[in-house]
Chains A and B, each alone.
Chain A
């Protein structure tokens, strides 16, 4: 799993939860790092924040999808606006979880997209 968030607190929270469930986790702190980490690690799933410095999450999803059209990305963001959800889906995101996330909601999204991971 690739966890992308500029907030160390959120990366740490999501990574801890996923590790406890037995997933191997790689972290990135902005969209540009996420694109590089995706190419290097080929994760089963990406959990992507939207508002980040250097490159935002929407731009990063577009880059990742251009590299791998089969990439699975779940947006995990504080931005709950309908317009933002639509923009993320148009960019290629498969699901959308609003922060602060509930552990079961996040794991549900992960398991739905990666039942065999």
Chain B
């Protein structure tokens, strides 16, 4: 059973980023565990985690939501999801996961992250192999963003 202390860093850092940097009201939906490979969103940001916690964190959203977030971050309208918009969404994943990693460290789990990767396309299949994904739905005024946390936790320091 995953402890709340290991989920909260992701929820808290996502809330903080979306409220402070994207200036959107956020509501958390019902957490769920998934084993399916397909993601719900057209735009996915994936970051690998290694160390005392190992696995992957995926931020999944529709292109509409990605464009709205990118517009807020770039302080400009994003009509097309171009390279700069992609970079801003990737950096969102990097910052939220980086701050969550700081929270995990407080619980004794020291980990490092890989650079973010963007995977675009409807119904993309991303397998986390034998690690279940804990899905945290974040409801935004422009639509839904889901954070999938598929981590295996090792020795606590």
A, B from the same assembly = yes
What is A's interface to B at a CB cutoff of 8 Å? 6-10, 12, 51-53, 77-83, 98-100
Q: Which of A8, A52, A78 has a CB less than 8 Å from the CB of B98?
A: A78
* B110 proximal to A (CB < 8 A): yes
* B81 proximal to A (CB < 8 A): no
Interface centre among A53, A77, A81, A83 (most CB of B within 10 A): A81
In the complex, which residues of chain B have a beta carbon less than 8 angstroms from the beta carbon of A98?
99
Asked whether, in the complex, the Cβ of B83 is within 8 Å of the Cβ of A51, the reply is no
* B26 proximal to A (CB < 8 A): no
In the complex, which residues of chain A have a beta carbon less than 8 angstroms from the beta carbon of B25?
none
Interface extent on B, as a size class? 20 to 34
Q: Which of B84, B97, B115 has a CB less than 8 Å from the CB of A52?
A: B115
Q: A51 vs B115: C-alpha distance in the bound complex, in angstroms?
A: 6
Asked whether, in the complex, the Cβ of A8 is within 8 Å of the Cβ of B105, the reply is no
Q: Return the chain A residue nearest B88 by Cβ.
A: A9
In the complex, which residues of chain B have a beta carbon less than 8 angstroms from the beta carbon of A8?
83-84, 87
Name 11 extra pairs, CB < 8 A, besides A80-B99, A99-B98, A100-B20.
A7-B88, A7-B90, A9-B74, A12-B84, A80-B98, A80-B101, A81-B102, A81-B110, A82-B105, A99-B91, A100-B21
Interface centre among A10, A78, A81, A99 (most CB of B within 10 A): A78
Which secondary structure dominates chain A's binding surface? loop
Asked whether, in the complex, the Cβ of B97 is within 8 Å of the Cβ of A78, the reply is yes
User: Can you list 8 A-B pairs, Cβ within 8 angstroms, ordered by A?
Assistant: A7-B87, A7-B88, A9-B74, A78-B91, A78-B95, A79-B113, A82-B102, A83-B105
Asked whether, in the complex, the Cβ of B91 is within 8 Å of the Cβ of A51, the reply is no
Q: Return the chain A residue nearest B70 by Cβ.
A: A9
B45-90 contacts to A (CB < 8 Å)? 73-74, 83-84, 87-88, 90
Q: A99 vs B98: C-alpha distance in the bound complex, in angstroms?
A: 9
In the complex, which residues of chain B have a beta carbon less than 8 angstroms from the beta carbon of A78?
91, 94-95, 97-99
In the complex, which residues of chain B have a beta carbon less than 8 angstroms from the beta carbon of A82?
102, 105
Asked whether, in the complex, the Cβ of A83 is within 8 Å of the Cβ of B73, the reply is no
Q: A66 vs B81: C-alpha distance in the bound complex, in angstroms?
A: 41
Asked whether, in the complex, the Cβ of B110 is within 8 Å of the Cβ of A83, the reply is yes
Asked whether, in the complex, the Cβ of B95 is within 8 Å of the Cβ of A99, the reply is yes
* Min CB gap A48→B, angstroms: 14
Q: Return the chain B residue nearest A30 by Cβ.
A: B115
Asked whether, in the complex, the Cβ of A51 is within 8 Å of the Cβ of B87, the reply is no
* Min CB gap B76→A, angstroms: 11
Q: A3 vs B58: C-alpha distance in the bound complex, in angstroms?
A: 27
Q: A98 vs B17: C-alpha distance in the bound complex, in angstroms?
A: 13
